[in-house]
């Protein structure tokens, strides 16, 4: 299929070049009989190009509208699943509205002027070099708008990044390595044991380099799925064992890099359980749409003798969002937000660190 497509593209290239050479030759022949400035735009060119400018303005508007209708259903701009999410979403919407207004007006002026004032022989432009008042106006308007954005942005940022004011947060370590994620919970005492990659002992299955002698470490729990109780603040401590990774949790409007040699942190409070989110009408629509696409793709795969795709069910995800090597594109971990009871039940099933070690 792609091979065929590529060949078609190559053929088109060849045809296009051949056609263009012809146009070019014709143009050259026509030029030789006209005046010496024939490669400079004349009134006819200005007229055509001016109209095209107007058409291009229409194109920009149309592509904007089409994109908003077809792609504007943005799970990232509504349906956040964390307490600070709506703050970011509102700020995003305000910024988008400002952008939309400015974009619509300035593109109109630019392209409309290009059409309206297209050149004509004998016409003289207005000699208009300066106007301090105008300059002042369009300096001061952005200043006011930006001041508003900066202030609200800074309040939101400070609020989100300040993790010290959370009372009794659940402490979870996110541990990144090429190319998977682990989560470590503090256990009963909600305190993580000391850890360093120098303490990694593969033979004893101490894969996170947790300090075996640290009393706080004994009841730590290491998992490959991230479970969070709804409504309780979570404080993530992030580590990486090899290269930079980034813990990106788009549904929670959360992201922080994992940096080898240091511990980074990010905190949020999940507000919607996975089960609730699956019942959200927007998400039901999105999932249905995705499954329609998957059924379509499955048909093609089955026809080729391959397995069909699994049905998609909504889950929160943690993705790696900092280039980290060959399998960067498949470094993910499922996040499950659940009620406190469900969380406690799940936690009870997990093995604590002291018991997960293999004796030498």
Partner 1 sequence: MSAHADTHDHDEHHHHKETFVTKYIFSQDHKMIAKQYLITGTIMGVIGIVMSLMFRMQIAWPEEPNVIFEALLGKWAPDGVMDADIYLALVTIHGTIMVFFVLTAGLSGTFSNLLIPLQIGARDMASGFLNMVSYWLFFLSSVVMVISLFVSAGPAAAGWTIYPPLSALPLAQGGSGAGMTLWLVSMAIFIASSLLGSLNYIVTVLNLRTKGMSMTRLPLTIWAFFITAVIGVISFPVLLSAALLLIMDRSFGTSFFLSDIFIQGEVLHYQGGSPVLFEHLFWFLGHPEVYIVLLPALGITSEIIATNSRKPIFGYRAMVASILAIAFLSTIVWGHHMFISGMNPFLGSVFTFTTLLIAIPSAVKAFNYITTLWKGNLQLNPAMLFSIGLVSTFITGGLTGIILGDSALDINVHDTYFVVAHFHLVMGISALYGMFAGIYHWFPKMFGRMLNKNLGYIHFWVTAVCAYGVFFPMHFIGMAGLPRRYYTNSNFPLFDDTADTNVIITVFALVGGVFQLVFLWNFFYSMFYGKKTVQNPWRSNTLEWTAPIKHIHGNWEGEIPHVHRWPYDYSKPGHDDDFVPQHIPMKEGEEELHH
Stretch that binds partner 1, among 121-129, 164-172, 210-218, 227-235 (CB under 8 A): 121-129
**Least separation in angstroms between CB 234 and partner 1:** 15
Token pair of 96 as six digits:
């988008």
265 vs 350, beta carbon nearer partner 1: 265
**Least separation in angstroms between CB 11 and partner 1:** 11
**Least separation in angstroms between CB 149 and partner 1:** 6
Asked if 316 contacts 277 with a C-beta cutoff of 8 angstroms, the reply is yes
Contact set for partner 1, span 252-281 (CB under 8 A): 253-257, 259-262, 264
Place of tokens 């088109």: 12
227 vs 251, beta carbon nearer partner 1: 251
In sequence order, which residues have a C-beta less than 8 Å from that of residue 351 and are 6 or more positions away?
A: 221
Contact set for partner 1, span 291-310 (CB under 8 A): 293-294, 297, 309-310
Contact set for partner 1, span 320-349 (CB under 8 A): 320-330, 332
42 vs 340, beta carbon nearer partner 1: 42
231 vs 260, beta carbon nearer partner 1: 260
Do strands 332-338 and 226-229 pair parallel, antiparallel, or not at all (unpaired)? parallel
Applying CB under 8 A, among 11, 22, 28, 300 the residue interacting with partner 1 is: 28
126 vs 303, beta carbon nearer partner 1: 126
Strand order in the sheet with 254-258: 226-229, 332-338, 316-320, 245-249, 254-258
Q: What is residue 221's three-state secondary structure?
A: strand
User: How many residues bind partner 1, per CB under 8 A?
Assistant: 139
> Please, what sign has the CA dihedral across residues 211, 216, 219, 223?
negative
**Least separation in angstroms between CB 265 and partner 1:** 9
**Least separation in angstroms between CB 345 and partner 1:** 27
Q: What is residue 248's three-state secondary structure?
A: strand
- The pattern of x and - marking residues 165 through 204 that bind partner 1 according to CB under 8 A reads ------------xx-----------------xxx-x-x--
Report d(CA 332, CA 77) in Å as an integer. Answer: 22
Q: Binding of partner 1 at residue 224 (CB under 8 A)?
A: no
**Least separation in angstroms between CB 349 and partner 1:** 27
Of 236, 237, 255, nearest to 246 by C-alpha is 255
Report d(CA 47, CA 118) in Å as an integer. Answer: 7
CA angle 75, 80, 82 (to 5 degrees): 155
Length of the chain: 360
How large is the C-alpha radius of gyration of the chain? Answer: 30
Contact set for partner 1, span 61-100 (CB under 8 A): 63-64, 67, 71-72, 74-77, 87-88, 91-92, 95-96, 98-99
Whole-angstrom CA distances from 178 to 164, 210, 245, 266, 327 are 31, 18, 9, 21, 8
HSE, side-chain direction, 13 A CA sphere, residue 9: 6
38 vs 213, beta carbon nearer partner 1: 38
75 vs 233, beta carbon nearer partner 1: 75
**Least separation in angstroms between CB 144 and partner 1:** 11
Applying CB under 8 A, among 11, 102, 302, 308 the residue interacting with partner 1 is: 102
Stretch that binds partner 1, among 164-172, 225-233, 237-245, 348-356 (CB under 8 A): 237-245
Asked if 291 contacts 278 with a C-beta cutoff of 8 angstroms, the reply is no
**Least separation in angstroms between CB 271 and partner 1:** 16
Q: Binding of partner 1 at residue 227 (CB under 8 A)?
A: no
Report d(CA 231, CA 229) in Å as an integer. Answer: 7
345: left (phi over 0), alpha (psi -120 to 50) or beta: alpha
6 vs 340, beta carbon nearer partner 1: 6
């Amino acid at each position: 299929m792609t091979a065929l497509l590529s060949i078609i593209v190559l053929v088109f290239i060849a045809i296009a070049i051949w056609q263009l050479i012809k146009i070019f030759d014709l143009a050259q022949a026509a030029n030789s009989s006209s005046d010496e400035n024939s490669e400079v735009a004349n009134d006819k060119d200005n007229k055509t190009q001016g109209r095209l400018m107007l058409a291009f303005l229409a194109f920009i508007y149309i592509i904007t509208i089409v994109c908003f209708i077809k792609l504007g259903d943005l799970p990232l701009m509504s349906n956040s699943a964390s307490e600070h999410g709506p703050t970011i979403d509102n700020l995003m919407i305000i910024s988008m509205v400002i952008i939309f207004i400015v974009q619509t007006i300035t593109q109109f002026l630019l392209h409309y002027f290009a059409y309206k004032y297209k050149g004509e022989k004998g016409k003289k432009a207005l000699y208009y070099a300066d106007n301090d008042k105008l300059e002042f106006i369009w300096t001061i308007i952005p200043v006011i708008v930006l001041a508003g954005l900066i202030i609200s942005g800074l309040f939101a940022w400070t609020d989100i990044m300040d993790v010290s004011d959370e009372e009794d947060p659940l402490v979870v370590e996110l541990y990144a390595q090429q190319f998977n994620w682990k989560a470590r919970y503090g256990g009963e005492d909600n305190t993580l044991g000391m850890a360093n990659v120098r303490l990694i002992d593969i033979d004893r299955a101490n894969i996170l380099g947790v300090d075996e002698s640290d009393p706080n470490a004994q009841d730590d729990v290491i998992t490959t799925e991230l479970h969070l109780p709804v409504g309780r603040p979570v404080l993530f401590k992030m580590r990486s064992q090899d290269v930079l990774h980034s813990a990106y949790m788009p549904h929670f409007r959360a992201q922080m890099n994992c940096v080898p040699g240091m511990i980074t942190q990010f905190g949020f409070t999940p507000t919607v359980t996975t089960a609730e989110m699956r019942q959200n009408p927007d998400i039901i629509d999105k999932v249905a749409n995705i499954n329609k696409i998957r059924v379509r793709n499955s048909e093609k795969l089955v026809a080729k003798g391959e397995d069909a795709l699994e049905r998609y069910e909504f889950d929160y995800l943690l993705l790696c969002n900092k280039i980290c090597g060959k399998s960067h594109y498949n470094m993910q971990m499922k996040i499950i937000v659940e009620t406190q009871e469900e969380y406690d039940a799940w936690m009870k099933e997990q093995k604590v660190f002291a018991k997960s070690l293999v004796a030498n």
